[in-house]
Amino acid sequence: MEKAFELNKALFEAVAACNYEEAKRLLNMGADPLGSTDETDADEHLLGELFCEIQDNENLEAAFPKFLELFYAHGMDVASHNIPTDDGDNIHPLWMLAFCQTESGLKILHTMLEHGLDRDSAEVLVDHILMDMEMCDGCEIEDAWWMESCSCGLKMLMLIASYPTILNESTYLQNCVALEKNDAQILPQFRNWNDFDYHIDLSTCTNIPHGLRDATLTIRDPKSKKTVWTLSI
């Protein structure tokens, strides 16, 4: 067991340093991207730690999709890890992806969806994204950076919804995107997430200035200015 932790620690360091060949060697030796790097906390996941590392590591941010493909090539199966338990143990690595509500985070999510991301994992991510929007501890809605992050988070939501293998299995996600009130035929277009303008209407908020509870999202085609989707956050 100690060897497994050491291998995982070395894998984390190799990926953080963008050392692709070393990461590949360690994976061949048995390092596990869903394993823990800490023998005192076996419920931590290396993948989740890397999602957090990306925020402060520009080189890794650019290189990470390549490492993610490497993990999948070595049999990574995110669905093998369950949704977090009520006492906070066994935090699902997708919970941590919510800290990457950026263009890079969208690219990571797209890669995972293309590799068959499962419904439960997708729901974990969406739940964290929407919870942070509703209850923003220490953030102000006037903060342009925070609003941009929220827009990326909503693009993540719509990107997930564009995959019918997930959406058709999840009443939760169907409700999150207000599926019944919109035209489902347009959903595949949200895989090109920058083809649309996302406008968050704060006038309907019931939790100002601490979050976006009950804010209205309007998604428009920038060319025609036509509204293509609306939902309540």
Closest CA relative to residue 54, chosen from 4, 5, 109, 7: 109
Q: How far apart are CA 212 and CA 204, in angstroms?
A: 9
Q: Look over the chain and give the mean of its residue pLDDT values, rounded to a whole number.
A: 88
Q: Is the pLDDT of residue 220 over 50?
A: yes
pTM for this structure?
Answer: 0.90
Q: How far apart are CA 231 and CA 179, in angstroms?
A: 9
Q: What is the pLDDT of residues 72-114, one digit of tens each?
A: 999 999 887 654 444 555 678 899 999 999 999 999 999 999 9
Q: What is the pLDDT of residues 7-16, one digit of tens each?
A: 999 999 999 9
Q: What is the structure's pLDDT at 174?
A: 98
Closest CA relative to residue 126, chosen from 147, 109, 103: 109
Which of 111-120, 145-154, 167-176 shows the lowest per-residue confidence on average (mean pLDDT)? 145-154
Contacts of 199 (CB under 8 A, 6+ apart): 217, 218, 219, 220
Q: What is the structure's pLDDT at 88?
A: 53
Q: What is the pLDDT of residues 37-61, one digit of tens each?
A: 877 766 678 999 999 999 889 999 9
Which tops the pLDDT comparison, 143 or 171?
Answer: 171
Q: What is the structure's pLDDT at 84?
A: 47
Of the chain, the percentage scoring pLDDT greater than 70 comes to 90
Q: Is the pLDDT of residue 31 over 60?
A: yes
Rounded to whole angstroms, the maximal C-alpha distance in the chain is 59
Domain boundaries, the chain: 2-180
CATH entry, 2-180, from 1.10.1740, 1.25.40, 3.40.50, 1.10.10:
1.25.40
Spell out where the chain has E strands. Answer: 197-201, 216-220, 227-232
Q: Is the pLDDT of residue 134 over 50?
A: yes
Contacts of 155 (CB under 8 A, 6+ apart): 106, 190, 193, 198
